[in-house]
A and B are shown apart, each in its own frame.
Chain A
């Protein structure tokens, strides 16, 4: 993997230039929008896109439930904010999920987080620590978008060279 992260965004329409995108549904089946991802270095950063751990995305991934928390556009929260650090600690202390990645808005600002499970139900996402910081959407996506990551080794709550936490090496 040349880069530890991709660009990621939640969009009302399907972007035509993304290398992977998928419709995202609510639990009741209503479509809310699209999740899309772009490779870093394939061009300019898409407007409004944020960094996500590249391991979170897999074109061969199984269907998944996603807990997507997004900071409101006008709200700027630093990764170093104690509340963000505490959310990371709670992720490390809690039961593992198949995917967790913070979303990097800029070198020092968190834009939200994405957690996912390939289980048949979203029960494992009920207590998303990042949902205590930002508004959350519980989404269902089909196969072909969400990957699987090893659980974070812990106990680090720091980022490595600006990569999305929990990417864990320089």
Chain B
């Protein structure tokens, strides 16, 4: 188990948290067999988070057709996350670490905010086995990934895991009747 802040190449722990509806969800279940964007955010009250979410909601239009997952995590209770999720138009799963146990395990407590004690804004792009492809530290806003950077990561992961990424063309029949079925 990782107790320090996770880095690219690390295997993320397969944690379990309640979702925005209060149902227990395991990370591996939400990731399934797909590339994933795992986002830790401060909370609905943070203007920088709201700006980032506006971009992620745009990215969602691509993610929803691309066999890819998105998961967002905060220390807000599920009912607050549900309201925030509905308000911004997100259709992916939000997870609530209200107890902050996962935050401590991952070393992602933002120590400079003693009022909210939120997550350090962080984004990981993940392989299906929860190995980290790229980690973005968004404590400073410009550390957060753009949608173009996320798309590049997701392209690289997809290329690595999908055996049919380079789909070979079927042979062209030389004569009528030849080669009409592959293999």
Binding site for B on A (CB under 8 A): 89, 92-93, 95-96, 150-151, 153-158, 160, 168-170
Contacts and interface: CB of A to CB of B under 8 A. Distances in A.
Contacts of B71: 153
B69 A151 contact: no
A158 B65 contact: yes
B21 A93 contact: no
Contacts of A151: 19, 21, 23, 93
A153 B92 contact: yes
B64 A153 contact: no
Contact of A153 (B21, B29, B60, B86): B29
Given A89-B91, A160-B67, A153 B32 contact: yes
A153 B93 contact: yes
Interface in B130-155: none
Interface of B: 19, 21, 23, 25, 29-30, 32-34, 60, 63-71, 86, 89-93
A62 to B, nearest CB: 17
A158 B91 contact: no
Contact of B91 (A92, A169, A170): A92
A155 B91 contact: yes
B23 A96 contact: yes
B89 A93 contact: yes
A155 B60 contact: yes
A93 B23 contact: no
Most buried by A among B25, B32, B91: B91
Given A93-B89, A168-B32, A155 B70 contact: yes
A39 B90 CA distance: 36
A96 B71 CA distance: 17
Given A151-B23, A170-B33, A156 B89 contact: no
Contacts of B34: 168-169
Given A89-B64, A89-B91, A156-B67, A150 B32 contact: no
| Top-6 shortest CB links A-B | A92-B91, A155-B91, A155-B64, A154-B92, A169-B33, A169-B32
Contacts of B89: 93
B92 A157 contact: no
A155 B92 CA distance: 5
A102 to B, nearest CB: 15
A158 B21 contact: no
A156 B34 CA distance: 11
